């Protein structure tokens, strides 16, 4: 990849995410955030493609951010995260992530998204986030 595109900034690069990243995000006009990650050696499994754990960690961050935007920053935690692995990606690929809240109640938020490289979906995911402190 040839550097980080204009408008992107480091995102969630603390704690565990610093280890598996670096992740980059760019806000969109509709309030959502678009995310990217360039695959490096440390992101690969023994078969030389993106590790499933990396894709799950990226999906958790992408979907969780969509939830955070929807609840205006209220603290939330992942309750469930379901994923279907669809395709693989090789070192050097730029993976991207997008998510959309499908339903929100006073205490939980439902979200769906996908991780992809170019036109190829790598992982589709859905989950439920708990709004912490909500009854």
Give the CA count within 13 Å in the CB-facing half-sphere of 112.
4
Please give the Cα distance from 9 to 97 (Å, whole number).
Answer: 15
Q: Which two tokens stand for residue 90?
A: 């090789």
Q: How high is the mean pLDDT in each 10-residue block of the chain (135 residues)? A: 80 83 86 88 96 96 92 93 97 94 95 96 98 82
CATH class of 9-131: alpha beta
Check residue 66 and give its pLDDT: 92
Check residue 13 and give its pLDDT: 75
Where in the chain are the domains?
9-131
């Amino acid at each position: 990849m040839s550097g980080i595109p204009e408008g992107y900034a480091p995102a969630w690069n603390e704690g565990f995410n610093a280890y598996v990243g670096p992740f980059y995000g760019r806000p969109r006009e509709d309030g959502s955030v678009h995310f990217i990650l360039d695959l490096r050696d440390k992101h690969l499994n023994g078969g030389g493609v993106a590790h499933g754990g990396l894709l799950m960690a990226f999906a958790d961050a992408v979907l969780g951010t969509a939830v955070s935007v929807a609840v205006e920053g209220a603290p939330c935690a992942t309750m469930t995260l379901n994923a279907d692995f669809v395709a693989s990606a090789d070192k050097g690929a730029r993976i991207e992530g997008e998510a959309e809240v499908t339903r929100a109640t006073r205490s939980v938020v439902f979200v769906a998204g996908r991780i992809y490289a170019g036109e190829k979906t790598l992982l589709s995911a859905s989950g439920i986030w708990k709004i912490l402190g909500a009854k």
